[in-house]
Amino acid sequence: MALHILWKFVMRSVQHALLWILVAVILLYTLVGIALTIPPPPWFRTMLETVAQHLRKEVTAIPWSKLVALLFLNNVRIALLLSIPLINIALLVPIVFMTAWLGRILAEMVAGKSWTLIVVMLIATPHSYLEFIAYSIVLTEGVYLGWKIVKRKAERADLYVHGLYIAMSIIILALAAMVEASLMRLPALTR
């Protein structure tokens, strides 16, 4: 049974998951790009600014390990939401927009209103790549499992494979949280 699950996991990765993960990464970057060009509603921006100011103060006040844990748990929460079959696509747009808007406000606090610097800070940082890959893994696997459920072809092994993809995503997100926490502690970003 375990060998069958491992074989199914490997074959799914090789056969189609890598292509769909790439498509999902492109989709996520596109959605973030759209979210960055559309400003949040004023009432929502006010709320996000309050959250961003609180986060910025906390970054410098808490130990590095606690910061890693907070970032990791937030990212895992997002990944778990994106892994839910049948509803993950509906959750994708609000999650991406809220995250991009909060990131934009935090970047504005650090970089001012420089559009280029904001985009670089949000899209070109190493932890962003890791997070997008991790989110894409669970998103594509959630869509695939949802499709199998709708077609009534889902097997118990598919649930185990789904769990393996979630575990893989969580490992990547742990690394991303460590990188992000380290970058957030750079002197230029904590002023």
The pTM of the full predicted model, rounded to 2 decimals, is 0.83
Closest CA to 168 of 3, 56, 62, 12: 12
Q: Please tell me the least confidently modeled range out of 79-83, 128-132, 185-189.
A: 185-189
**Amino acid identity at 39:** P
Judge whether residue 81 has pLDDT over 90. yes
Could you tell me the sign of the dihedral formed by the alpha carbons of 156, 157, 158, 160, in that order?
A: positive
- What pLDDT digit, counting tens, does each position of 58-71 carry? 877 889 999 999 99
Q: At what angle do helices 88-111 and 42-61 cross, to 10 degrees?
A: 70
Q: What is the DSSP secondary structure assignment for residue 39, as one 8-state letter?
A: P
What is the C-alpha to C-alpha distance for residues 148 and 80, in angstroms, rounded to an integer?
19
What is the C-alpha to C-alpha distance for residues 110 and 112, in angstroms, rounded to an integer?
6
- What pLDDT digit, counting tens, does each position of 179-188 carry? 999 988 876 5
